Amino acid sequence: MTAGTGHRRAAEAIAEAVRQHLPHAQVDCVDLLAYTPAWFAWSYPRLYRSLVQRWSPLWGWGYELIDRPWVFRCVQPIRRRWNRLMGRRLLRRLRDQPPDVLVATHFFPADLFASAKQAGVLKARLVVVITDLFPHRVWFAQPTDAFVVGSSPTRDLCRQRGLVADRVHLLGIPVNPSFTQPRNREATLRALGLAPDRRTVLIAGGGMGVGPIAELVHQLLVMDPDRAQRLQLIVVCGDNVRLRRSLEGLSQQARLPIRVFGFVETMAKLMQVSDLLVTKAGGLTITEALATGLPLIICSVIPGQEQLNARYVVSHGAAIMALRVPEVIDAIQRLLDDPATVCAMQERARALAFPHAADHIVERLILPLAHETA
């Protein structure tokens, strides 16, 4: 869905894996918002962005409130009717062209498909791939044939909240195969106009380009000359055009190499040539970093799901939490001076990763379910 870049990337990774395993199958990777009313498709991502950027405490309060069992029980019937109303065009298409297996990587289509199954409108098997490390109750759409989770604590949480144990599968959050493909680091850095002998810090704010990116870059440009000589930056601004233009102008005068990008489809390449990632705590961004063994400095969290994502990787030693710009600068400087700690964080990141999650989801769930419906 265009409401979340990470959800879309997970869906695309699974679609690509299905095409590899079932080359003759028809595989459609669908953005549900394209089937909703125009006003809803326009407002849904913008409302979310406004809430998390300008009213994040309100978002966090609502997230926690609706996750309470008694509140969710009151809200869910209304939410389900609303989802059916907004998604009715897609349901008509699925009735006309019935699929064998449906895979949802966002809670909106997960609930839409589950409600249609419950009503007897859809017969397809349903797999829900949870793309947060600690999911909200909105993910637990019923009836669902299989839930895929990305960590042992997530699996335990699902079982505690009443999901049938044999329907919860610890297979990981799927990432594109490009994140695990070997790459010539030196050649790639040179192609980007960067130096192979410098430490590379990748700064990213998700698809929306949120977080203190501009202030952070400004502060890195005035760090002490000795460290600046060992450092270079890659900055990904997402669809934040104003931020990208501002930093592109700044990079022309910088005393250390900086490459500035907008929205990119080459995040795998950028992660694989980097030594550190400074980012917000989005579930897919964290998952992709773990798959490449890239240590994280988490500089921004959206209350709710991202707070829990961040705690997980920090508690396992793959990330450092630094929510103020001076703390981020200090963390970068300390890690520049301590390559042994960076190496240890890389190993811990790889230990948490499920780099072949997409293939395993297809092999262990989608293929068997498709054969059952054949």
Domain ranges, ordered by start, for the chain: 5-175+355-373, 183-352
Contact 361, 14 (CB under 8 A): yes
pLDDT of residue 374: 57
Q: Cα separation of 8 and 261, whole Å?
A: 20
Closest to 126 measured CA to CA, from 109, 136, 137 = 109
Contact 121, 98 (CB under 8 A): no
Burial of 208-228, coded b for 16+ CB within 10 Å and e otherwise, reads bbbbbbbebbeebbebeeebb
Q: Cα separation of 184 and 174, whole Å?
A: 24
Is there a common fold for 5-175+355-373 and 183-352? yes
Strand partners of residue 168: 147
pLDDT cut 70: percent of the chain above it: 97
DSSP string across 97-160:
S--SEEEESSHHHHHHHHHHHHTTS--SEEEEE--SSS--GGG--SS-SEEEESSHHHHHHHHH
pLDDT of residue 357: 94
For residue 313, the SS3 value is helix
Domain 183-352 class? Answer: alpha beta
Q: What is the pLDDT of residues 264-311, one digit of tens each?
A: 888 889 999 999 999 988 888 899 999 999 999 998 888 877 888 888
Q: Which residues of the chain have pLDDT under 50?
A: none
The pTM (predicted TM-score) of the whole model is 0.88
Cis check for the bond before 153: say yes or no (omega within 30 of 0). no
Q: What is the CATH number of domain 5-175+355-373?
A: 3.40.50
Q: What is the DSSP letter of 171?
A: -
pLDDT of residue 69: 92
> Quick one: angle between helices 283-291 and 5-21, nearest 10?
50
pLDDT of residue 230: 84
Q: Tokens for 340?
A: 């042994």
pLDDT of residue 209: 59
